[in-house]
Structure 1
Amino acid sequence: MDLEDTLLMMPGPVPVAPRVLRAMSKPMINHRSAEFAGIYTDCREILSSVFQTKNNIFLLSGSGTAGMEAAVGSVAGSGDKVIAIENGKFGERFKDLAARYAEVVPLVFEWGLPIDLEMVKEKLEEGAKAITLVHNETSTGILNPASEIGKLAKKHDALFIMDGVTSLGGDDVKVDEWGVDIAIVGSQKCLAAPPGLAVVSVSEKAFEAMKSVSKKPYYNDLMAYKKSGDKPRPETPYTPAIPLFYALQEALHIVKEEGMEARIKRHRILSEAIRAAVAEMKIEMFPQLNEYSHYSNTISAMKAPEGIDGEDIKNDMKKRGVIIAGGQERLKSKIFRIGCMGNITARDVLSTIQQLEIVLNKRGYIESLGAGTEAATRVIDRV
């Protein structure tokens, strides 16, 4: 099947609007020019509303992981303790990144289980320079309690570093209100731009902490980004990926035109529609929740039905022109995941559910078609 005929319903990259793709074809410009400074400034201003922050915002040429490394490597060095919360693949990644720079205090929960805030409190009472959290853990489909972690971090004077890679731009993320010292988002997720840019917001408290770190990353040194970003004509410290900046600016204009409140509402309704559909098909959601955790509004992770391999569902969907995701590492074959981020529409969701019903019918799991699609439609039609 032609790639242009496929529907991307995975947790990033996401479909990119034609106007965003066209923006990438504009001529190259001097990255030290007033033209580039205007693009950079425009992006930062719109992103401030997405992050709900007054903190400094920087754009790095690199994926969300580059932003994660910049965050940890810039504030923590040898002898510093960093508490790394893990309940999924990307929490594990944060833990591994932190171990390259500092002394990691791992706080590990089984993938898909909620975070025990009492255990977080106990670790913070032992002392730490920083604590890391993946807000929206796409590997398991769970939304972790960022607000509560922020309160605990502030109480114990620890920096709060949050991976918002797959929540910022698609869910209600209150960086300043939650006390997030460094927050990260990736361009190819809810912002619906191509992969290759990471956006990082940094508090004054985090900048102060950086002064005591002697061996920060070179390319991803956030102090270098501050020095360049604070110039009368703002720029990046190193050559930026100019076509991606063109694309991100246009994608952010789409975000601004829709409005963050409407954008968040759309993500929530469409993810609720997916959950209603799979519930109608007697498919269980994978993550387990407690009073502080919620299902993700940008990715739905479901248990593969008994007797069916999650990878087979993913591959069957691909043959039908819909790209979804399977499980990662220890969860491979056990779950499958449907993304709902970026500029995804109700039609995209209903098309995905229709194809999923056909796949499960052919596999002998459901006897008839239509119930899941009807359940999703009822949710969407409530608006």
Structure 2
Amino acid sequence: MDLEDKLLMMPGPVPVAPRILRAMSKPMINHRSMEFSKIYDDCRKSLKKIFNTNNDIFVISGSGTAAMEAAIGCTLGKNDSIVAVENGKFGERFKIIASRYGKVIPAEFEWGESIDLDLVEDKLSEGAKAIAMVHNETSTGILNPAEDIGKLAKKYDALFIMDGVTSIGGDEVMVDKWGVDIAVVGSQKCIGAPPGLSMISVSEKAFDLMEGVDSVPYYSDLKAYKKSADKELTQTPYTPAIPLFYGLQESLNIIMEEGMDARINRHRTFAMAVRKAMESMDIEMFPSLNEYSGYSNTVSAMKAPESINGNDLKREMLERGIIIAGGQAHLSGKIFRIGNMGNINANSLLTTLQSLETVLHKHGHITDFGAGIEAASDVLDKVL
């Protein structure tokens, strides 16, 4: 099957709209020119609306992990401690990055389990300089309580660093209201652009705490990004990935045209349609929720049924032209994940569920076709 005939339904990268691809084919320009400055300014203006922040925003030529490292490396000295909340693969990544720059106070939970806020508060009370958490844990499909963590960070005067890589641009994120000092997002998720850029918002408090940090990353030094962004011609400190900036600008234009309220509603509706389809096919959702957490609105993680290993399910979906995701690390083979990020439409979602029904029927998990499609359609029909 030709690559162009495959349907990308994983939690990033996501399908890229043709108008974004066309924008990326524009001629190369000088990255120290007025032309690039206008593009960068336009992107930052739109991103502030998407982040819901008045803080500085910068764009780094590097994936979301680059922004995660910038957030940690620029604020954490070797003698500073940080609470790293982990209940999935990307929370673990925050912990690993933080261990290279300072002292980690781990707040660890089983992957897919909800966060215990009392335990997190106990960790913060030890005097940590900062706390890092993933808002939407893509690896397990759980939405973590960012607003509640923000309140705890404020109570203990700790810097709040949040991975919003798979929530910003697709779900409600209120950076200023929630007290998020540094928030990061990747271009290839809900933003709907190609991989390779990350966007980061930085508060004044965060910049103040950068003073005196003994060893910071060179390429992702946020003070250097601020210095360059504050010039008369807005620029990045190092050569940017110009075609990706073209694509980012166009993807942000698409978001502004749709409107964030409508975009959030679309993501939430699609996620609900997936969950209702799973319920109708007797497929159990993977995350274990409490009163503070929720199911992700941009990716759904399900337990693989007894009749088929999650990796085999992923492979058989690929044979039918549908690219979904499996479990990571120790969850490999145990779960499967379906993304509904970016510019996914209802037809793509229904096609994915139809193929999933075919695979599940083949392995005897369901005896009849149509229940999943009907359940999802009932949800979609209310908003389409």
TM range (shorter): over 0.9
* SS of 1:75 mapped into structure 2: coil
* SS of 1:131 mapped into structure 2: strand
Report the CA distance between 1:186 and its aligned residue.
Answer: 0.1
Q: Distance in 2 between matches of 1:169 and 1:213?
A: 31
Give the partner amino acid of 1:191.
Answer: I
In structure 2, the residue matched to 1:31 is 31
In structure 1, the residue matched to 2:59 is 59
Report the CA distance between 1:232 and its aligned residue.
Answer: 1.4
In structure 2, the residue matched to 1:353 is 353
* SS of 2:74 mapped into structure 1: helix
* SS of 1:200 mapped into structure 2: strand
Report the CA distance between 1:364 and its aligned residue.
Answer: 1.3
In structure 1, the residue matched to 2:296 is 296
- Equivalent positions of 1:326-337 (< 5 A) are 326-337=326-337
Q: Distance in 2 between matches of 1:374 and 1:129?
A: 50
Report the CA distance between 1:307 and its aligned residue.
Answer: 3.1
- Structure 2 gaps of 5+ residues are none
1:20 aligns with 2:8: no
In structure 1, the residue matched to 2:226 is 226
In structure 2, the residue matched to 1:190 is 190
In structure 1, the residue matched to 2:237 is 237
In structure 1, the residue matched to 2:90 is 90
In structure 1, the residue matched to 2:70 is 70
The answer as to whether partners of 2:80 and 2:129 remain within 8 angstroms in 1 is yes
In structure 1, the residue matched to 2:5 is 5
* SS of 1:199 mapped into structure 2: strand
Give the partner amino acid of 2:53.
Answer: T
Q: Distance in 1 between matches of 2:72 and 2:379?
A: 40
The answer as to whether partners of 2:267 and 2:341 remain within 8 angstroms in 1 is yes
In structure 2, the residue matched to 1:214 is 214
Q: Distance in 2 between matches of 1:273 and 1:321?
A: 21
Give the partner amino acid of 2:147.
Answer: S
- Equivalent positions of 1:218-367 (< 5 A) are 218-367=218-367
Report the CA distance between 1:109 and its aligned residue.
Answer: 0.2
Report the CA distance between 1:215 and its aligned residue.
Answer: 1.0
- List per-residue Cα deviations over 1:313-349 (Å, max 9, x = no partner): 1000000010000000100000000001001111111
Q: Distance in 2 between matches of 1:110 and 1:23?
A: 43
- List per-residue Cα deviations over 1:279-307 (Å, max 9, x = no partner): 10000000000000000000000000013
The answer as to whether partners of 2:162 and 2:183 remain within 8 angstroms in 1 is yes
Q: Distance in 2 between matches of 1:122 and 1:83?
A: 10
Stretches of 4+ aligned residues off by more than 6 angstroms: none
Q: Distance in 2 between matches of 1:56 and 1:232?
A: 16
Q: TM-score, normalised by structure 1?
A: 1.00
Q: Distance in 2 between matches of 1:347 and 1:153?
A: 42
In structure 2, the residue matched to 1:101 is 101
Q: Distance in 2 between matches of 1:232 and 1:208?
A: 23
The answer as to whether partners of 2:181 and 2:206 remain within 8 angstroms in 1 is yes
Report the CA distance between 1:195 and its aligned residue.
Answer: 0.1
Q: Distance in 1 between matches of 2:374 and 2:267?
A: 19
Give the partner amino acid of 2:222.
Answer: L
* SS of 2:58 mapped into structure 1: strand
The answer as to whether partners of 2:125 and 2:156 remain within 8 angstroms in 1 is yes
Give the partner amino acid of 1:157.
Answer: D
Q: Distance in 2 between matches of 1:8 and 1:350?
A: 13
Q: Distance in 2 between matches of 1:160 and 1:50?
A: 19
Q: Percent identity?
A: 68
Q: TM-score, normalised by structure 2?
A: 0.99
Q: Distance in 2 between matches of 1:282 and 1:34?
A: 57
Q: Distance in 2 between matches of 1:313 and 1:254?
A: 33
* SS of 1:177 mapped into structure 2: helix
Give the partner amino acid of 2:37.
Answer: A
Report the CA distance between 1:214 and its aligned residue.
Answer: 2.1
Q: Distance in 2 between matches of 1:178 and 1:218?
A: 29
Q: Distance in 2 between matches of 1:82 and 1:358?
A: 47
- Structure 1 gaps of 5+ residues are none
